[in-house]
């Protein structure tokens, strides 16, 4: 009897543990000439199509590409990155046993927590941030549609290359597909916090008034920056540019803060994280914060 290929079996375990209808598979590509950043080729496949595409994915991986996966569309899972086994044990004890645990690089783990019901995007992101903060996961990976590595393929980061030139495989550690019993309480709590935050944000936006016009010239409003094509729709850059400009014009910090809060910041997380974003933006505009 022919033994199953280990990589194929790992992929089957991965897909069975999540049991989502469709996936987005991301394959990194080399940067374009003159550019530094890798590109991402995305394929939208069913589980069966993923398994039928193993030859293609293995060839890409062998050429140096990373292979990632995430559920397509809104979904019922939370991805938590950069975990230790001790942290995963804490998750289990707290009522959040992962449906899938991967060793993404030696002694470093990724977990997918199943909630049993599809979450709206803002709720999904808030739950991801909550779990990452609680269990020491990577906060920059905590959002509703983050990619995780696909089991059965090698992690091609140069720092993981072994002495013999090979790279470590992404391994399935657990693939039980279980629903976390602590999910219902956490999701209810997050929805309550988001509802409260939306109400506060609505009050702030309603109370926001543009800065007064000086006697000799009109001052630009934050909307002038957000609507400018110079920032390509990047509200982070537009907010920082406005704050830098407004403070130089002598607009009080309190008015700048009010202007920054005039858009919906719920995607940043809870009220504390939103305040942190506003504070960091003002500090950078004053030249006191680290630039990114």
pLDDT in tens, 162-213: 999 999 999 999 999 999 999 999 999 999 998 988 888 777 667 665 555 4
- Residue 257: per-residue pLDDT: 86
pLDDT tens digits along 52-84: 999 999 999 999 999 999 999 999 999 999 999
- Residue 256: per-residue pLDDT: 87
In this predicted structure, the answer to whether residue 290 has a pLDDT above a threshold of 50 is no
Mean pLDDT of 242-248: 90
What band does 227 get if pLDDT is binned at 50, 70 and 90? confident
- Residue 106 is encoded by which pair of tokens? 């030696």
Mean pLDDT of 139-160: 94
- The DSSP output letter for 58 is H
Return the minimum-mean-pLDDT range out of 97-101, 121-125, 192-196, 252-256: 252-256
Mean pLDDT of 2-24: 90
What band does 288 get if pLDDT is binned at 50, 70 and 90? low
C-alpha to C-alpha distance for 130 and 113, rounded to whole angstroms: 12
Q: Calculate the average pLDDT of the chain.
A: 89
- Residue 209: per-residue pLDDT: 59
Angle at 138 between CA 135 and CA 140, to 5 degrees: 135
pTM over 0.85, yes/no: no
- Residue 120: per-residue pLDDT: 95
Return the minimum-mean-pLDDT range out of 80-89, 118-127, 139-148, 265-274: 265-274
Half-sphere exposure (Cβ direction) of 261: Cα atoms closer than 13 Å: 27
What band does 291 get if pLDDT is binned at 50, 70 and 90? very low
Measured CA to CA in angstroms, residue 80 lies from 4, 151, 232, 249 at distances of 29, 15, 30, 43
- Residue 160 is encoded by which pair of tokens? 């993981």
Residues 6+ apart with CB under 8 A from 104: 81, 110, 148, 149, 155, 170
Mean pLDDT of 23-40: 85
């Amino acid at each position: 009897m022919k033994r199953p290929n280990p990589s194929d079996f790992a992929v089957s375990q991965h897909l069975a543990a999540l049991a989502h209808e469709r996936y987005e598979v991301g394959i990194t590509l080399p940067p374009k000439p003159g550019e530094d950043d890798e590109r991402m080729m995305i394929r939208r496949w069913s589980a069966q199509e993923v398994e039928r595409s193993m030859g293609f994915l293995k060839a890409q991986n062998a050429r140096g590409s990373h292979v990632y996966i995430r559920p397509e569309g809104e979904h019922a899972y939370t991805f938590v990155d950069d975990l230790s086994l001790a942290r995963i044990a804490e998750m289990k004890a707290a009522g959040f046993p992962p449906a899938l645990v991967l060793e993404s690089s030696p002694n470093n783990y990724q977990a997918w927590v199943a909630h049993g019901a599809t979450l709206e995007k803002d709720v999904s992101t808030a739950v991801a941030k909550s779990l990452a903060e609680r269990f020491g996961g990577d906060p920059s990976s905590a959002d509703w549609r983050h990619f995780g590595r696909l089991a059965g393929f090698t992690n091609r980061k140069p720092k993981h290359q072994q002495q013999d030139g090979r790279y470590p495989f992404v391994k399935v550690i657990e693939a039980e597909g279980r629903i976390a019993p602590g999910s219902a309480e956490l999701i209810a709590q997050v929805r309550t916090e988001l509802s409260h935050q939306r109400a506060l944000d609505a009050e702030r936006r309603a109370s926001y008034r543009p800065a007064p016009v000086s006697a000799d010239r009109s001052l630009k409003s934050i909307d002038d920056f957000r609507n400018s094509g110079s920032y390509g729709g990047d509200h982070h850059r537009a907010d920082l540019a406005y704050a830098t400009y407004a403070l130089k014009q002598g607009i009080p910090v309190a008015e700048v803060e009010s202007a920054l809060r005039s858009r919906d910041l719920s995607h940043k997380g809870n009220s504390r994280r939103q305040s942190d974003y506003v504070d960091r933006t003002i500090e950078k505009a004053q030249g006191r914060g680290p630039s990114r």
